Chains A and B, each alone.
Chain A
Amino acid sequence: MKRILKLLQSNKKTSASIAKERLQIIISHERTKKDRAHLLESMQQELIEVIARHLQLAPGSVKDQIKLDLAQNEGQSVLELNITLPDDELVAAAIE
């Protein structure tokens, strides 16, 4: 009888093991989200350096000049990049 009871108990998840599972999932999710934010930030910085070598950029902070977004849609990730140039620079680039 005792053995049967033990067997039944071992099949049932303890609340601690549920807690551990939930924590592992949420923490790994939060860590990747933070890593991704870091990745975007450093990419943004590097991209701005490369672009500034070739084009005149709009004045202001990096965040005003370039917008980087990583969106996830059903199995694919889209990296969206928006760069703001001053008006005359746009014209000059178009003529070239």
Chain B
Amino acid sequence: MAHIIVVTSGKGGVGKTTSSAAIASGLAMAGHKTIVIDFDVGLRNLDLIMGCERRVVYDFVNVVKKEATLKQAMIKDKRLENLFILPASQTRDKDALEKEAVGEILDELKKEFDYIICDSPAGIEKGAFMAMYYADSAIIVTNPEVSSVRDSDRILGILASKSQRAESGAEPIKEHLLLTRYSPARVESGDMLSIDDVMDILAVPLLGVIPESQAVLKASNSGTPVILDEQSDAGQAYGDAIARLLGEDRPLRFTKMQKQGLLKRLFKQKEGAAV
């Protein structure tokens, strides 16, 4: 049974596309046939993060408007056997997506795929609404920062009232919190909301915590989903999140400040004194 997952946040720049790329890749690596769809019509970026920007011929809107078939628009990932990408249009506006047409496309994809990942645009307008409307589960990407947490709460309200599941009275969308750009050192010094703080406020089960990491920018520079960088902290944290999504029980990693050796501490103090 195909499963539709929306990756959403309300606020922009918190890591939705990075997370969508990592989650889709992780599911494909686990052997599930997966497609990731960019719903950010007019501002497509998933293709860049996935490293397939030069292979885009047709896009999601072409399929919605029946100017191309799904088969023509889907791009097969070069690294992972089970992974496909459906890019957004770069030229149309977000109103080009129609509820019925999107529903038809998703129904067709459901026949072929195990997982359909919908990468939502920021905001609460039509593109974001389309991305979440048909979802079975939602991954709420949140930064430990006031505006992101507030927007996540708004999105949770919309998921609970405006989705197809809400409208039809079916079982509600399953919610998962993915806390990204987490910095244990700043939490420890009292300058960043902790995991518990965010969970107290949003009250959504935690799927994973992705540490603030240099690996994320490096991965996007080269168009490789960060989960493929298995040496990196962020890559491993996404791997854990995928395992949890698939029902495995994994402890959190990279959420505590690393104990620094005496030498390093001394060195740091000297550095500080020199400034």
Contacts and interface: CB of A to CB of B under 8 A. Distances in A.
Most A C-beta atoms less than 10 A away, residue of B157, B190, B191: B190
B201 A14 contact: no
B193 A30 contact: no
A31 B189 CA distance: 31
Interface residues of B, number: 17
Contacts of A16: 187, 190-194, 197
A27 B201 contact: yes
A76 interface: no
Contacts of B201: 20, 23-24, 27
B249 interface: no
Contact of A26 (B150, B192, B193, B200): B150
Nearest to A22: B146
Contacts of B192: 16
Interface residues of A, number: 14
Contact of A14 (B145, B149, B190): B190
Interface in B43-100: none
Nearest to A34: B157
Main secondary structure of the interface of B (DSSP, over half): helix
Contacts of A22: 146
Given A20-B197, A20-B200, A27 B150 contact: yes
A31 B157 contact: yes
Given A15-B191, A16-B191, A23 B146 contact: yes
Contacts of B154: 30
A17 B157 CA distance: 24
Mostly helix, strand, loop or mixed at chain A's interface?
helix
Contacts of A15: 190-191
B72 to A, nearest CB: 43
A17 B200 contact: no
B157 A20 contact: no
Nearest to A13: B190
A7 interface: no
Contacts of B150: 23, 26-27, 30
A13 B192 CA distance: 12
A19 interface: yes
Contacts of A20: 193, 197, 200-201
Interface in A1-45: 14-17, 19-20, 22-24, 26-27, 30-31, 34
Given A19-B145, A31-B157, A34-B157, 12 more contacts: A14-B189, A14-B191, A16-B191, A19-B193, A19-B197, A22-B146, A23-B149, A23-B150, A26-B150, A27-B150, A30-B154, A31-B153
Which 8 pairs, one residue from A and one from B, show the smallest C-beta to C-beta distance? Answer: A14-B190, A20-B197, A27-B153, A15-B191, A16-B190, A19-B146, A16-B193, A23-B201
Interface of B: 145-146, 149-150, 153-154, 157, 187, 189-194, 197, 200-201
25 contacts: A14-B189, A14-B190, A15-B191, A16-B190, A16-B191, A16-B192, A16-B193, A16-B197, A17-B190, A19-B193, A19-B197, A20-B200, A22-B146, A23-B149, A23-B150, A23-B201, A24-B200, A24-B201, A26-B150, A27-B149, A27-B150, A27-B153, A30-B153, A31-B153, A31-B157
